[in-house]
Structure 1
């Protein structure tokens, strides 16, 4: 029976960006199926005590910038810690990712996820903008206009809501969040533990 990892994330989360490529590589290495579940982080925060960045105390905001720079250097991933379009809603990008999974499968959706995260965190592109999302889908080899239209359907919205409700029911309180064999792992800095879970027979 194939191993499964539930992957809850928000496309506008820098920590999701830092962990994304490594998680995908680990899943391929250990033949683990990723269940891609983009979520509405504000909704999760609203029931779990989390605060949007702008509402956090200045001490926490300042330290976050230090950690972002540290992880960017450690992982050798480009990142602008203060993107031009922040704060940004991840809703439209999340729906586009779900539409890509419906139309083209999980691997395509994972690739588009990585492209969207890189666009926001490394290339200063506005992932709330319809034209930008269309262009990113085109660059990933899809029909961007068709995929954007599909992302606005009721079925995609229902799936997005379902993933968010599942996250809340599973006691998720941040992103990224990984679940392997019922065991939760919060944050890309827990990927060593995720790998150990993948390696278990």
Structure 2
């Protein structure tokens, strides 16, 4: 019986971007199903004591850039440390990913997630802009216009809210966050631990 890993992430998180392809690959390698759950990290910060980047102490902001550069080089994943369109609201992108899952399934939603995060962090695209999201969806072989329309429905918003509520209930406070058999793994730098858990 295959395992299922819940995948909580915010599409504007550079750490989610750095870990995305590795996570998808290791889940596939171990025959694990992915329960993809984009969530509202800002709301989770509000109840977990987290701070948005602009409100963090200068030394924390500076070290974050050091670590991002370090991980980007180590993984060979291109990343612009201070992209043109960041900070950016992730809500429209998250809803688009949810719409893709509901309409086309998990694999398509994962592909779109990767393209959106790469768009922000490697290609300096504005993932808060509807037209940009349409273009990214089109590049994944989807009907971006139709998918965007679907992403604006009440049912998709309800799914987004449900993911956020589930994240709060599970004591999640960061992105990305993986849950396997009730065990939490926070951050792309915990993927080695997650892989060992999948292999056990």
**TM score, norm. by length of structure 2:** 0.99
Deviation of 1:89 (Å):
1.1
Mapped pair 1:190 → 2:194: no
Partners in 2 of 1:116 and 1:85 — Cα distance?
A: 13
Secondary structure, in 3 states, of the residue corresponding to 1:198? helix
Mapped pair 1:10 → 2:10: yes
Partners in 2 of 1:80 and 1:97 — Cα distance?
A: 22
Mapped pair 1:160 → 2:160: yes
Q: Which residue of 2 aligns with 1:28?
A: 28
Please identify runs of 4+ aligned residues in structure 1 that moved more than 4 A: none
Q: How does 1:40-119 map to 2 (within 5 A)?
A: 40-119=40-119
Can you give the 5+ residue segments of structure 1 that lack an aligned partner in the other structure?
Answer: none
How many residues in Structure 1 have an aligned counterpart in Structure 2?
200
Can you give the 5+ residue segments of structure 2 that lack an aligned partner in the other structure?
Answer: none
Deviation of 1:196 (Å):
0.4
Mapped pair 1:38 → 2:38: yes
Aligned-CA RMSD value: 0.4
**TM score, norm. by length of structure 1:** 0.99
Deviation of 1:2 (Å):
1.9
Q: Deviations over 1:28-77 (max 9, x none)?
A: 00000000000100000000000000000000000000000000000000
